[in-house]
Every structure is written in structure tokens, then in C-alpha cells.
Amino acid sequence: MFIEVLVVALVGTAAGSYLNYLESSEEASMLASVKAEAKTGKTVTAEKALRTHPDFWLKKTFTVSDYLAMLDAGKLTIIGLPDASAFKSARPLIYLVTSSGELGNVPDTWKGSLTERSMANHPAGQRIVAVGTISPAEGISFGEIMRILVDVLIAAAILVSLKDMLPGGGGKFSPTRDVSTRFSDVIGAADAKAALQDVVNYLKDPEAYSRVGATPSRGVLMSGPPGTGKTLLAKALAGECGVSFIACSGADFSSKFFGVGITMVKSLFARARKEGAAIIFIDEIDGIGRRSSNESTGQAEQNRIINQFLIELDGFNASERIIVIGATNFVDNIDPALIREGRFDRKIELRLPDVVEREQLLRYYSRKLTVSPDIDFAQLARLTLGLSPAAVAALVNQGALRAARAGSSVVSMQHLTDAVETTHLGEVSGAMMSEDERYKTAVHEAGHALLSVIRKSGNVEKVTIIPRTNALGVTFISHEDSVKLETKTSLNHHIDVLLAGRAAEQLVFGESSNGAGSDLHRATAIATDMLNKFGFGSGLAVVTKDYLTPENHIKELNELLATRYKETCQVLEQHMSSLKAVASLLMRDETVDGAIIKAMVGHTELHSEA
């Protein structure tokens, strides 16, 4: 709201400045007209100015003797004779315009009545205006009206912003009643739904808990990667319980004004208590921050905001049906006092969807699209490993955009697989590759694909050498994400598949290219975990820098990777004909289905057994 107030203030200031400019321009024009008419003996503009702008004559004061001399010499074009009551002056002022166009005033301090003297004795041609009978307008000018209006608008905007900050007031933290979202609308997250069932039971039947003396959880902390549906799940909880839903963000309590954040916290909980039963959802609750001993003004205010939250969380009584749900991607950034038992004591971690849930998500988000019957949702689910529900929704929409761009009336499997590839690798690159580069890329990708099939490490979905933003080619290998335990052998096979591209280049061309750089990084990461975390080195000990010198640490890594690279080269040498056949297919078709590669390897193995 502060931004809106600032905008109104700036507009008001600009409008006031513009009005001042217009008025100053109007006054300058009027003065010029008065002076021009004075030289010709006319008095029309001067008489008008006497009524509307008497302040023009206050800028210069003549002495009585100067005035009498000009009066007797006939050097005055117009004389204004106001009475004392018209201008609230102790002694009346006489206004004059000289024949040269000069404006001024004369205080009537003559021993007699200077006004009567002027009326009784003035040469012909001098215009006498009895201003007292036509006193200046008692109203206000248009410019003054506009300035007052702008001031009123600014004041109103400030009052509205202050109203939002008052406990229970304003439009801030407006509740959503009669929430229609239910747990059935949230695909996956079965563990989280089960954990929230206690909250549902309490809000629906609080007496059942009070009869046995049970104290329900007052706060629930949801954590997990971005896009896993924390907001949707909180809203579904409100719908299941039939209570109001009040959503806000941790950033809502930050302000440049001291004390506003605390007032906002009070406002939030006051609004919830007014509803009687409510779910308060604070997204990005880590934005509230952590308390610190730093004595700066900003940190002191943050400490006060967190303290107010603690007071509110501890201030619930047994009859208040209010549950606070916080959501964050960074649990470590939350003040420990907020998440201790009795406050946010129920902690729920939302994980990324597994392959079954991803298939359900793909079907759910595709239900409003016109899709072709050839779409294999199971394969798409395998290809989207590691994607959140939000990312899956974006992917389906990307597929629909591709269909529309191509002028197609339906969304096909190709449109969706292109969207998957774009999500993982970026858009198709317009860069041209030479035939030599294309063949090296084909050999490299064929090596990855063959080792995956031979080692049974993952499922090869397809291989392509169509260049994209982040890669010249790619082998799509899906994995069973239901696997929770990895053996030393399975991890070795993952490394073999990563090293196979470099090994294939070495066997066919006698040297490898820089295209294997990212593969080496990932292989090294797996090898490092094997040694540092899992104890899969040459001995039983977990190899870390705390126990070994950096030289020995690198030596152990190199020995592990060298062993895997040697075995990978040996396997590819035994399947050299398949390697070259897959590379040739890629050169011809650019994209080869994984089923074809599996058939080629199987045929080779049967041939060799015969």
C-alpha cells in the first residue's frame, strides 16, 4: 500500500506544481495586459485584477507625497479606493496604476482623508474605482480548489493504508470462505495428506479431542522443493475442514516503517479469530527471518516481529479453531523458536512426485486439451523424472503451445516429447554442425545408449543428435525412481554409462572431445559420494578430507574412475559393430527410438552366442 500512497503523493505534487505553473502564467499575462492598457488609458484588465488579484498592488508602496504629486500631474491611469473592511487593514490602502503601467499602493496615512482628497481632486482621464463597493472575491480560485482536492486524495490514501495495518481492519488478509478445493484435487502427496488428517479431525470435531485431554497441533510446517503443491495442499485442508482460508506471505510483515510489521502480525491473527475457525497459511515463512543479537534498527524490528508471532502462537485457547500452516523451501532459515514443539510442531516434507504420480499429473493437466490417442503417458512420466507438479503443468502447456504453433488441431506425443526435451535441454539450436561433428556426436551418444542397455542401468527411451541450447546431442535414459537403495555395482554402472560417450570417441577416433566434460563432472560426483558417504572405496573406511590428505583423496577418486573407464572401453570393444550401427542410424535419422537400440544389442548377443 505504501507504493500506492507514494504514487498518489507524487501525482499530487506534480499536479500542484502544474497548477502553480498555470496560475503564474495567468498572473503574468494579466500583469502584461494591465501595463499595456495603462499606456493607452484603458482600465478593463486593471479593474478585473483589482477584484481577483489585489496582491499585485502590494509589491510596491508609494509615499503619500509621491502619490499626491502623480495625482496632481495626471500621471495615474486608475485609482482603487477600497474601504478598510474590504481588505481587513487598520488603515485603507489606495491602489494605483501609473500611466507607464507601474502598479503600487499608498497607505492612507495623510492627516486628512487621502481617499476623500483623491475623490475630490483628480484630473480628467483618471479612472476612479470604488473597490470597497465591489470587494475582491471571497471564494477561492480553481487552482486552490484542485490543490485542496489533491491533498484530500493523499490523506485518503494514507488513511486506507493505515486501515489495512490496524488489527482486523482493511482489505489485508481477506479470508476465503467456502473453499471448494479438496484433498482429491491434490495428486500425490499421500504421506502429507495422512499427516494432516489429525488437523481435519480436530477442526471438524474439537470436542472429541477435549474429552480425552488431547492438545492438537496449532502449527504445521510444510517444506520441500518449489512447485510441489504446498499452497494447494493448505487450501485443500481448509476445504476438507470447512473453515476459512487466509493466505499471506512472510514478506507481508516487512516494512520500512518501524512498528508496522508487528501491527500486521496482530492484524492477521485478529482477522483469523474474527472468523472463528480458520487456516492461516504463511507462504515463504522463512521470509520472516531469524532473531539476532545485532542491535541495528532493522534487526531489532525483525526480532520484535518474530516475538509477536511467538506471542500469538502461544496465545491460542482451547476454544479457538485456528491452525497456522507455514510453507518454506529453506527450513534452516527459520528461527528455531518458531518451529519448536507447541508451535510448528508438526513438520511435513513434500517430495517430488514419483513415476505413478507424474503419470496422473500428466493426465490431469491434459484433460482440458484435445490430445491424440497415441500419447504414451507412462513413457512421458518416465522422461519427467525430477519435475515438480508445477513443472509438469508447465510442460503440458508447452506441448499445447507447440501444437498451436504448428497449426495442429490436436496435441500429439511428439509435441509433448519436444516439450520434455526443451525442459531438460533448452530449445533446438539453430547452430549448424559439420558432418565430422555430427558423426562424433552420434558415436558419443551411441556409446551412452549401448552401455545403458548392456549394463541394464536405466531404460533408454530415445537418442538424438539434434543440437539444443545445452547439448549437441542427448540420450534419454529413464530410471525407476522407486529405487531407494543403490548398491556399489549399480553406482558403478551409472558411472560406466556416463563415461561411455568419452570411451566410444576414444575407440573410434583415437581421442576424445570436450563434449564429455559434463559427463565427467557427473561421474566424479557419483564417485565422490561412493568414497565420502557410502564407504565404497578400496577399503571399508569412508574416505573424507578429514582422514586423508588431498593428494590421497584425489588418488582414490582417480583409481576408481580409471577402473570404470577401462571396463567401459572393454565392453564397447566387444560391441563395436552395434556402436557403429547405432551411430550410422543417428546420422541418417537424427533420432532413434530406444527400442531399436535394445533390439540391435539383443540381436548381437544372440549372434555371438550362436
Catalytic residue list: 445
Q: Residue with C-alpha cell 543428435?
A: 465
The four Cα atoms 481, 483, 488, 489 give a dihedral, to 10 degrees, of -80
Please tell me the distance from the alpha carbon of residue 562 to that of residue 570, in angstroms, as a whole number.
12
Q: How far apart are CA 155 and CA 148, in angstroms?
A: 11
Grid look-up 583423496 returns 553
Distance between terminal CA atoms of the chain? 80
All 3 cell numbers of residue 62?
Answer: 508609494
Bridge partners of 371, per DSSP, are 411
Q: List b or e across 94-133, with b for residues whose CB sees 16 or more CB atoms inside 10 angstroms.
A: bbbbbbebbbbbbbbebeeebbebbeeebeeebbebebbe
Instruction: Give the span between the Cα atoms of 293 and 596, in whole angstroms.
Output: 65
> SS3 string of 293-349?
CCCCHHHHHHHHHHHHHHHHHHCCCCCCEEEEEEEECCHHHCCCCCCCCCCCCEEEE
238 CB neighbour count, 10 Å cutoff: 28
Helices (H) and strands (E) in the chain, counts: 22, 12
**CA 529, 530, 535, 539 torsion-angle sign:** negative
C-alpha closest to that of 92 among 122, 121, 53, 118: 118
Q: How far is CA 588 from CA 441, 442, 580, 582, 599, in A?
A: 13, 10, 12, 10, 18
Return d(Cα 251, Cα 254) in angstroms, integer: 5
Q: Which of 608, 527, 521, 610 is nearest to 573 (CA)?
A: 608
Neighbours of 598 (CB within 10 A): 15
d(CA 235, CA 249): 14
Alpha carbon distances (Å) from 476 to 397, 431, 462, 465, 489: 21, 21, 5, 11, 21
Instruction: Say which residues have a Cβ less than 8 Å from residue 79's Cβ, sequence separation at least 6.
Output: 71, 94, 95, 96, 118, 122, 126, 127, 128, 129
Quick one: the chain helix, strand, coil %, rounded to 5? Answer: 55, 10, 30
Phi, psi of 476 (to 5 degrees): -85, 115
DSSP helix/strand/coil, 471:
strand
Where in 469-590 does DSSP place strands (E)? 474-478
Q: Residue type at 73?
A: A
C-alpha 19: how far from chain center: 38
The three-class DSSP label of residue 269 is: helix
